[in-house]
Each structure stands twice: as C-alpha cells, then as structure tokens.
Amino acid sequence: RCAELQIQLTEAVSTMAGQKELIAKLEHDLSTIQALSTVHRPDAEGAAVPSLEKIPEPIKEATALFYGHPPSPGTSFPEGQVDSLLSIISSQRERFRARNQELEGENRMMQHTVHALQSELDNLRADNIKLYEKIKFLQSYPGRGGSRDDTEQRYSSQYEERLDPFSSFSRKERQRKYLSLSPWDKATLSM
C-alpha cells in the first residue's frame, strides 16, 4: 500500500512539473510572439507581398494588451477577436491553475498517508519486538524446547539490539549532538 501511494505521489509530482513547464512554455511563446511582431523581416524570394508578417493581428493586439503597450494608432481590430483570444488564454490558465491546485491537494494527502503508514509501521515493529520478548520469556522455562522459525530469527536481532546498553547510549548521544547543532549545520550534515 505504501509503495502504491509512493508511485501515485511520484506521478502527481511529475504531472505537476510537466504542467509548470507547459505554463512556462506558453508564457515564453507569448513573449516570443510579441518580440516577433516588432522584428522587421526581409522579403523572401518570389514574394509578391512586401512584408511576410505571418502573425495574426489579434495575437499581436492581445500580446500588446498583455504587456500594457497601447495598440498601434493606425490599426483598428474587431474587439471580438481580441476578447476571444484573451478569454481562450485566460481560461486555459485558469484550467491549469485549478489542476495544479488539485494535484497539490492530492500531493498533501499522499504525504499525510505516507506519514500515517510510516508511523503505523513503526508501531507494528515495536509490537513485534515486545511479542518476541514474551516468546523469549516463555521459552526460558525448563522443559520448553524451542524450534525457532523465521519470524523469531527476524526479531531476535532487533530485540538484542534494544537490550544492548552501548548501542542505546550511542544512539541517545548521537541524537543529543544532532539536536544541539545549528540549523545551518543540520542542513550541511543532511547534504
């Protein structure tokens, strides 16, 4: 279940990153279109028209309005074309924004679920070690022969490690030293 949630979390993060890239590309394309509308291009061979501006006028107008430049005084465009282009772009931006918020919500839920599962896993490990301790106690009575299976062998090392005073002391000292570090030192240590 935890691995499945991790996979879903990874997919959500990659989708969100892809959408951020698409938004950045859209913004870049819009700025490129604005830049292209100001660049003079020479005529191509065999061109009958004196200029090869292939960018539609509503796009030029919309990008000019987007960047706050007033429209050219000599050109007048139908208001419907500019408004329709702006509405298309703004609705697309809003769809991406809503999807991004949805993915961020899913990401938060997945992280919460992963933390809950991790704490449950830690609790189950602690319970298993306690159960192994009880098994060990019951096997210490005379006349109790012990056939050890895989489960007992798996938890015996964890049980013995918990009883070892040196490893316990070492772990506590390491934790105390870590907590006494400054945030910058903690960041450096984690790197």
pLDDT tens digits for range 4-49: 888 999 999 999 999 988 888 888 777 777 666 555 555 555 545 4
Place of tokens 């539609």: 56
Inter-residue contact 15 to 103 (CB < 8 Å): yes
Report if residue 48 sits inside a domain: no
Tell me if 168 is assigned to some domain.
yes
Domain-embedded: residue 175: yes
In a domain, 105, yes or no: yes
Give a yes or no: residue 34 inside a domain: no
pLDDT tens, residue by residue, 82-111: 677 788 888 889 999 999 999 999 999 999
d(CA 76, CA 110) in angstroms, rounded, equals: 52
What is the 3 state secondary structure string of 58-94?
HHHHHHHHHCCCCCCCCCCCCHHHHHHHHHHHHHHHH
Residue 16 · residue 107 · CB < 8 Å = yes
| Total domain count, the chain | 1
Look up the domain containing 167 and give its range: 88-140+152-190
Return the number of other C-beta atoms located less than 10 Å from residue 149's C-beta: 8
DSSP category for residue 44:
P
Residue 161 contacts by C-beta under 8 Å, 6 or more apart in sequence? 167
- 0.85 exceeded by the pTM? no
Reported as a single tens digit per residue, the pLDDT across 126-178 is 888 888 888 888 877 776 555 566 777 777 777 777 777 777 777 788 888 88
CB 92 within 8 Å of CB 125 = no
75 in any annotated domain: no
Answer yes or no: is 21 within a domain: no
The residue among 7, 43, 9, 1 whose CA lies nearest residue 111 is 9
Is residue 157 within 8 Å of residue 129, measured between CB atoms?
no
User: Which of 97, 129, 106 shows the shortest CA–CA distance to 26?
Assistant: 97
